Amino acid sequence: MLIGNYQESYASDEAIFRTPATRVWMGLALLAAVLFPFVAGDYLLYLANLMGVLALSALGLNILIGFTGQISLGHAAFMGVGAYATAILASRLGVPFWLSIPAGGALACGAGMVVGVPSLRIKGLYLAIATLAAQVIFEWIFTNWTSVTGGIRGLNVAPASLAGWRIDTDARAYFLIMTVAVAHYLFATNLRRTRWGRAFVAVRDRDVAAEIVGVNLFRTKILAFMVSSYFAGIAGGLWVYFTKVVTPENFPLSLSIQCLAIVIVGGLGSIKGTIYGTVFMTLVPELLKATTGLARQVWPTAQSYLFPLQDVVFGLLIVVFLIFEPHGLAEVWNRMKRFFSLWPFEK
Partner 1 sequence: MNPKFRLGALLLAVSTLLAPTARAADDVVTVGACQPITGRFAFAGVAINAGLQDYLTYANEKGLVPGKKFNYVYEDSGYDTERAVACFKKIMAQHSPVIMYGESTGLGKAIAPELTSRYKVLYASASFSSELADPKTHPYSFISGPTYSDMFSVLLEYIARNKGAARPRVAFFYSDTEFGKDPIAYARKRAAELGIDVVGEIVTKVGAVDVTSEVLQLKKTQPDFVIFQGYVLAPITEVVRAAKDFGLKTRFMGTFWSMDTTMIDKLGQDADGYMGVNPYAYYYEEGAPGIAAMRAFNQKAHPEVKYRPNSYIQGWFTGMVYVEAVKRVVAAGKPITGENLAATLDGIKDWDTGGLSGKVTFTNHKAGIGRVYKANAQKGIFEPASDWIYVK
In the complex, the residues that contact partner 1 under the rule CB under 8 A are 22, 25-26, 28-30, 32-33, 36, 39-44, 46-48, 50-51, 143, 151-154, 159, 168-170, 182, 243-245, 247, 249-250, 272, 275-276, 279, 283, 285-287, 289-290, 292-293, 303-304, 307-308, 310-311, 333
Q: Which is nearer to partner 1, 209 or 287 (CB)?
A: 287
**N residues, the chain:** 347
Nearest approach, Cβ of residue 345 and partner 1 (Å): 20
Buried b (16+ CB within 10 A) or exposed e, 32-50: ebeeebeebeeebbbbbbb
Nearest approach, Cβ of residue 221 and partner 1 (Å): 28
Distance of alpha carbon 292 from the chain centroid = 28
Q: Which is nearer to partner 1, 219 or 289 (CB)?
A: 289
Q: For residue 169, what are the contacts with CB-CB under 8 A and spacing of at least 6?
A: none
Nearest approach, Cβ of residue 281 and partner 1 (Å): 11
Nearest approach, Cβ of residue 32 and partner 1 (Å): 4
Determine the Cα–Cα distance for residues 159 and 162; give it in Å rounded to an integer. 10
Give the dihedral sign, CA 174/177/179/183: negative
Q: Which is nearer to partner 1, 99 or 287 (CB)?
A: 287
The alpha carbon torsion through 61, 76, 288, 175 (nearest 10 deg) reads -80
End-to-end CA gap in the chain? 16
Nearest approach, Cβ of residue 6 and partner 1 (Å): 21
Q: Which is nearer to partner 1, 148 or 287 (CB)?
A: 287
Q: Which is nearer to partner 1, 39 or 323 (CB)?
A: 39
Q: Which is nearer to partner 1, 262 or 279 (CB)?
A: 279
Determine the Cα–Cα distance for residues 152 and 17; give it in Å rounded to an integer. 46
Nearest approach, Cβ of residue 119 and partner 1 (Å): 28
Determine the Cα–Cα distance for residues 39 and 41; give it in Å rounded to an integer. 7
Q: Where do runs of H (alpha helix) occur along 95-169?
A: 97-116, 124-144, 146-149
Determine what percent of the chain falls in helix, strand and coil, rounding each to the nearest 5: 80, 5, 20
Give which of 174, 188, 168, 205 is closest to 68, Cα–Cα.
Answer: 205
Nearest approach, Cβ of residue 27 and partner 1 (Å): 10
Determine the Cα–Cα distance for residues 141 and 12; give it in Å rounded to an integer. 49
Whether the Cβ atoms of residue 241 and residue 129 lie closer than 8 Å to each other? no
Nearest approach, Cβ of residue 298 and partner 1 (Å): 16
Q: Which is nearer to partner 1, 102 or 267 (CB)?
A: 267
Q: Which is nearer to partner 1, 225 or 239 (CB)?
A: 239
Q: Which is nearer to partner 1, 5 or 216 (CB)?
A: 5
Give the dihedral sign, CA 10/13/18/19: positive
Surface-to-core class of residue 313, CB atoms within 10 Å of its CB (0-12 exposed, 13-18 middle, 19+ buried): middle
Nearest approach, Cβ of residue 154 and partner 1 (Å): 8
